[in-house]
Amino acid sequence: MTDFAAEAAELDAADPLAAYRDRFLAPESSDLVAYFDGNSLGRPVADVPERMAEFVDGPWGDRLIRSWDEQWLDLPLELGDRLGRVCLGAAPGQTFVGDSTTVLLYKLCRAAVDHQAHQGRTEVVLDTDNFPTDRYILEGIAAERGLTLRWIETDQRTGVTVDQVREAVGPQTALAVFSHVAYRSGFIADAPAITEAVHDAGGLVLWDLCHTGGSVPAHLDDWGADLAVGCSYKYLNGGPGSPAWAYVASRHHGILRQPIQGWLGRKDAFTMGPGYEPADGIRAFVSGTPPILAMVPLQASLDLVEEAGIDAIRDKSVKLTDFVIRYVDEELSDLGVEVVSPRDPNLRGGHVTLRRNGFRAVNQALWDEGVIPDYREPDGIRIGLSPLSTSFAEVVDGLDALRDAIERLDAFQ
């Protein structure tokens, strides 16, 4: 049998990213034993309180409204370009930060289907296991615009496949919307091949990168992606409700027109003139006043991601998830725990989903003990592993607690 504690110590000692763990907040008063939910809410970077104080004292408190001209107006685009360079594989001028994921999904999807309506295209392709917000937004847009939703039945253990997409798309396809990393299983979709399949049918593709950004390298330009949306509060550690980001390939600028026509997305916004004329480039997809204050923690996190490098982050992510799977196979499989995420690391994102009857109660017991994964129906616990803030020793502590909780639950039944 493997001595996982000893192996974890060796892996931590050899980990080139180990020092980053100390650059996240870890209050001495915390009862936290193991944090396995960085795929839902990342830990705050340690210097965020200082940065926030500097922001309040300086750009906000001292410069006041002058800061809009001095730095804030362009910040959503500058931060978008940085995201594109650091982890999205997007050239400058195609990404901006602002709004929530839900609002950005609506804006980009509506822009896409409205444009495609001129081609007589009336179908949207999506899969049954995509994140609920994506499905709900598309259901609403379909009702607004009289569109047909073409559903792909997705295996919850994997995700949408190229063959399924090829079978679903056709001459009526306006738009296809998929997650690059499935929120439930962690399955990584074949984005380049799926994008090509949709394009061959004349459709546009929007990729949801909420479980990708900051964990799995993306290559939006190389994929030929049309549109993408992602959040910043998971592996990008932007904080609860931190602004999302949107990508629109430059070839669609001046062609797609977003539906929420706010003042800051208008050409010459400060003329405050009559009528709406979209700004040039990616700024045309901006709507209202951007959440500048909420961008401060994201800037702190991007400093770490850029310094560490997304490829090194991905390398540790694979090692962490492999380690979890080996532990489960040796220590938990006899207790009925099953790995439902892909075992091939090339097909697996930054979390591992485990399944067993009674896991809802087990998850609550773990939370009570300071071990924090999350629960997803049916009977799934997700072990989310943020490479910059998670050690291998922490993984062992958390999985040991999971084993003990299962054994206690079984003893009472």
Tell me what pLDDT residue 134 has: 98
Per annotation, catalytic residue among 99, 134, 208, 374: 208
Model confidence over 64-112: pLDDT tens digits? 999 999 999 999 999 999 999 999 999 999 999 999 999 999 999 999 9
Torsion angle in degrees (nearest 10) through CA of 8, 11, 13, 18 = -100
Active site residue 110: no
**What is the Cα–Cα distance from 40 to 30, expressed in whole angstroms?**
19
Mean pLDDT, rounded, of the chain = 96
Model confidence over 24-42: pLDDT tens digits? 998 877 899 999 999 999 9
pTM above 0.85, yes or no: yes
Peptide bond into 297 cis (omega under 30): no
Decide the pairing of beta strands 374-376 and 351-355.
unpaired
Share of the chain above pLDDT 90, in %: 94
Amino acid making up residue 376: R
Q: What angle (nearest 5°) sits at the alpha carbon of residue 146, between those of residues 142 and 152?
A: 45
Tell me what pLDDT residue 26 has: 87
How many residues are given for the chain? 413
All structural domains of the chain, each given as residue ranges with its CATH number in brackets, are: 4-44+310-411 (3.90.1150.10), 73-305 (3.40.640.10)
Residue 410's pLDDT band (cuts 50, 70, 90): confident
Per annotation, catalytic residue among 234, 266, 348, 355: 234
- Locate 12 and state its tokens: 């931590």
Tell me what pLDDT residue 235 has: 98
Model confidence over 151-199: pLDDT tens digits? 999 988 888 999 999 999 999 999 999 999 999 999 999 999 999 999 9
Per annotation, catalytic residue among 21, 121, 314, 382: 382
- Locate 358 and state its tokens: 């009674």
**What is the Cα–Cα distance from 403 to 410, expressed in whole angstroms?**
11
Active site residue 131: yes
The mean per-residue pLDDT over the stretch 259-270 comes to 94
Model confidence over 340-373: pLDDT tens digits? 999 999 999 999 999 999 999 999 999 999 999 9
Answer yes or no: is pLDDT of 398 > 90. Answer: yes
Active site residue 382: yes
Half-sphere exposure of 150 (CA within 13 A, CB side): 20
The mean per-residue pLDDT over the stretch 334-343 comes to 96
Q: Which helix (H) or strand (E) holds 248?
A: strand 245-248
| DSSP reduced 3-state for 365 | helix
**What is the Cα–Cα distance from 311 to 359, expressed in whole angstroms?**
33
Residue 220 near residue 88 (C-beta atoms within 8 A): yes
The mean per-residue pLDDT over the stretch 387-412 comes to 94
Give which of 385, 394, 392, 378 is closest to 181, Cα–Cα.
385
Model confidence over 266-317: pLDDT tens digits? 999 888 889 999 999 999 999 999 999 999 999 999 999 999 999 999 999 9
Per annotation, catalytic residue among 233, 247, 285, 392: 233
Per annotation, catalytic residue among 51, 131, 375, 404: 131
**What is the Cα–Cα distance from 263 to 44, expressed in whole angstroms?**
32
Neighbours of 206 (CB within 10 A): 28
| DSSP reduced 3-state for 317 | helix
Tell me what pLDDT residue 183 has: 96
Residue 257 near residue 111 (C-beta atoms within 8 A): yes
Model confidence over 55-64: pLDDT tens digits? 999 999 999 9
Amino acid making up residue 258: Q
Amino acid making up residue 263: W
**What is the Cα–Cα distance from 84 to 218, expressed in whole angstroms?**
9
The mean per-residue pLDDT over the stretch 136-143 comes to 98
Answer yes or no: is pLDDT of 245 > 90. Answer: yes
Active site residue 234: yes
Answer yes or no: is pLDDT of 413 > 80. Answer: no
